Structure 1
Amino acid sequence: MTPGIERPYAGGVEIEWTRSGFERLGFVGWKRFGLIERSDLPDKHGVYVVISEALGRPEFLTKSVGGPHKRKPLTVGVDVLSKAWRDGAEIVYIGKAGGRRGLQDRLWAYARQGRGHSAGHAGGRFLWQLPASEKLVVGWREVDGVSDVEEALLALHVAAFQSRPFANLKDGKRMTLPRACECLAAALGVLPRDVG
């Protein structure tokens, strides 16, 4: 299969780990981080994926363009980034947004962090050492139970590729594959082998 459009089975569920695959799962929005405005974003809970349209190995920035977290810079070594990168991967981060205003607060803070502003989180910080990180695209889906849905997506990604998405620092280990499949069937309508 061509890198980036792989649809490996994980726990009996087939997910196409691409923008088009997630569009079929009901993800919407698809805004570039550099162009997002707060008014573009729903104030509901949900999960989101960040995609990179450049599938080859990038020349990582030696210094993060992201704003600090708790007054600490987000920069990590290029060697750490190189180990985390998987050539051909379109999905580079999976996240969740709960809280009072859900996706609106989370993704707006994230977009601002990519523009150099301080943010109250450090999740996904590897993204800000990608060249042209402002061109990364985010799509989202409003769901309940955001923590479980995020964990389920991460668990299935790890089962499919033996690695987590590039900028995720956790990998869904707290959720078994059967539970992940049940969770996604309930939340996203993903049934065994029906996606792709």
Structure 2
Amino acid sequence: MTTEAIDLAGFTGWVPFTALPTAAVPTGPGVYVVVRPSDDPPTFLDVSPAGHFKGKDPTVPIAELQALWVPDTRIVYIGKANLGSAGRRGLRKRLDEFRRSGAGEPVGHSGGRRIWQLADHADLLVGWRVTDDTDAARIESEMIAQFRAHHGQRPFANMRN
């Protein structure tokens, strides 16, 4: 998988969200990337199928999605997963929350919510790389900064960094 300025060496997985429950997603901390395996211009859904966490509609106006779209890249989101205070979180749990949110469950994963309005969101692939818990946030921020330096903006679905 090639991706311009972001080095995805060491990332594994590359499965669609629907395959995550049976994929060998590590339980430890790390970073993950969501890619769209197409270079075609995107089509957006009028209404997001994602869950309404705390009653909040995750739908974003199509004009805003179009303005946020980053051409000439397949990377649509960069995220991280820490272990959390109880040490029971990590990549498997975080990605499962992300998947469940996109499947319509009211799960607290607002980061990346824009991907669910891509008409081809079922084709998106997720790859991950295990890191030390203390390094996950730094590596995520560095990857987003590299992306921004190359493209002039954050990945399409990233809302911070």
State the 1:156 CA deviation.
1.1
Q: Which residue of 2 aligns with 1:62?
A: 46
Matched, 1:154 2:144: yes
Q: How many pairs align?
A: 155
Distance 1:54 1:6 in 2: 12
Q: Is the 8 A contact 1:55 1:88 kept in 2?
A: yes
TM-score under structure 2 length normalisation: 0.89
CA shift, 1:55, in A, is: 1.9
- Structure 2: give runs of 5+ residues left out of the alignment: none
| Root mean square deviation, CA, Å | 1.8
d(CA) in 1 for partners of 2:2 and 2:31?
21
Q: Which one of the candidate residues 70, 84, 109 is aligned to 1:121? A: 109
Shift of the 26–133 alpha-carbon distance from structure 1 to 2, 3 Å rule, reads same
In the other structure, the counterpart of 1:84 is 68
TM-score (structure 1 length as normaliser): 0.74
CA contact (8 A) 1:63 1:129 kept: yes
Distance 1:159 1:50 in 2: 19
Percent identity for Structure 1 against Structure 2: 39
Once the two structures are TM-superposed, the CA of residue 132 in structure 1 deviates from its matched residue by 2.5
Q: In the TM superposition, what is the alpha-carbon distance from 1:70 to its structure 2 partner?
A: 2.0
Does the CA contact (< 8 Å) of 2:25 and 2:92 recur in 1? yes
Residue by residue over 1:164-189, the C-alpha shift from the partner in whole angstroms, topping out at 9 and shown as x without a partner, is 10000123xxxxxxxxxxxxxxxxxx
Partner of 1:103: 91
